[in-house]
């Protein structure tokens, strides 16, 4: 089978159980949902599908359970054009799930159960080495064992690949390994936790991003929700404002951003232009419900740009 892909995405596949509620619940509160959806998700799977919809050949490395949900997830990303040769079934685990509450303004609360995602091993990574060798960029998050994530980064560095790390959830990573990453993408909360600098204003965002540059990370993006994103490299800083849109559901907007940055970097090699596109594409994604169901195609994005 042809394993030639431009981007390899490592990590999680989940089935998302999404409840749309009138407000997010307080501690101990029971709410009745206005609407419910069961949709494919998982940070890595979202990113793989998002990049594929933007016209990039993508391969996925991950694990699901040997159950109905796992079958559905593999079938879904396969239909989206993602190569699933290295998505394995773990007979000892159930498929990962996420339980998501979404408020009318698009804010959400998420509880995940890793399931089979936590059984991804170094051996699984080695079995996908051909895919890695043929690729141009790798994308990973931390919905996997930390030692496996660090191994992926080291292997990708050895093969001179462009490494995009979405450090979510925040896990303490070996500083030497972190400095091997070409592009680190974090949100405000993650940037605060990582640096100890309270990211609350653009100035404090710049301060945190620059601190991460000083730790040896070539390029850092801090995503700022409705305020877009800030890109900091060793020699420049730029803040990208998003277009105004009607926010319906922010689930997977961050994953959409990560995928779009990587996809456009693969297309043209210009990181600033890639971040500019990613801010617009992730803004478009929040206008629709669900995780993967909200991810724009390249045609939808082009139409969105023409309409502005």
Residues belonging to the active site: 255
Q: Is 263 exposed, middle or buried (0-12, 13-18, 19+ CB in 10 A)?
A: buried
Closest residue by Cα to residue 260 from 56, 4, 45: 56
Contacts of residue 287, defined as CB under 8 A and 6 or more positions apart, other chains included, come to: 245, 246, 247, 248, 294
Cβ atoms of residues 29 and 282 within 8 Å: no
Spatial separation of the C-alpha atoms in residues 117 and 65, rounded to whole Å: 9
Q: Is 246 exposed, middle or buried (0-12, 13-18, 19+ CB in 10 A)?
A: exposed
Tokens representing 98 are 């996420």
The rounded Cα 5 to chain-centroid distance in angstroms is: 18
Length of the chain: 308
Other residues' Cβ atoms within 10 Å of the Cβ of residue 245: 16
Tokens representing 64 are 């699901």
Cβ atoms of residues 144 and 96 within 8 Å: no
Phi, psi of 210 (to 5 degrees): -65, -35
3-state helix, strand, coil in the chain (%, to 5): 40, 25, 35
Q: Is 69 exposed, middle or buried (0-12, 13-18, 19+ CB in 10 A)?
A: buried
């Amino acid at each position: 089978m042809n394993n030639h892909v431009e981007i390899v995405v490592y990590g999680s596949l989940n089935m998302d159980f999404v409840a749309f509620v009138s407000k997010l619940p307080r501690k101990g509160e029971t709410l009745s949902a206005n609407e419910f959806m069961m949709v494919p998700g998982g940070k890595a799977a979202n990113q793989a599908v998002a990049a594929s919809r933007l016209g990039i050949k993508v391969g996925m490395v991950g694990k699901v359970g040997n159950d109905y949900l796992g079958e559905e997830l593999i079938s879904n990303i396969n239909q989206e054009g993602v190569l699933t040769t290295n998505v394995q079934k773990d007979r000892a685990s159930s498929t990962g799930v996420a339980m998501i509450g979404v408020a009318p303004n698009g804010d959400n609360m998420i509880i995940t159960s890793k399931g089979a995602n936590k059984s991804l091993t170094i051996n699984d990574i080695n079995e996908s080495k051909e895919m890695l060798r043929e690729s141009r960029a790798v994308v990973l998050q931390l919905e996997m064992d930390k030692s496996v994530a660090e191994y992926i980064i080291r292997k990708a560095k050895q093969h001179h690949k462009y490494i995009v790390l979405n450090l979510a959830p925040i896990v303490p990573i070996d500083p030497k390994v972190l400095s091997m990453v070409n592009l680190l993408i974090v949100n405000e909360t993650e940037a605060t936790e990582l640096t100890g600098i309270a990211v609350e204003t653009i100035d404090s965002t710049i301060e945190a991003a620059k601190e991460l540059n000083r730790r040896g990370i070539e390029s850092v993006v801090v995503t700022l929700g409705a305020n877009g994103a800030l890109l900091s490299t060793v020699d420049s800083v730029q803040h990208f404002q998003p277009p105004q849109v009607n926010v319906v559901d922010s689930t997977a907007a961050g994953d959409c951003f990560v995928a779009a940055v990587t996809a456009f970097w693969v297309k043209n090699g210009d990181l600033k232009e890639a971040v500019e596109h990613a801010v617009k594409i992730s803004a478009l994604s929040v206008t629709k419900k669900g995780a993967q169901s909200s991810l724009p195609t390249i045609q939808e994005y082009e139409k969105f740009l023409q309409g502005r």
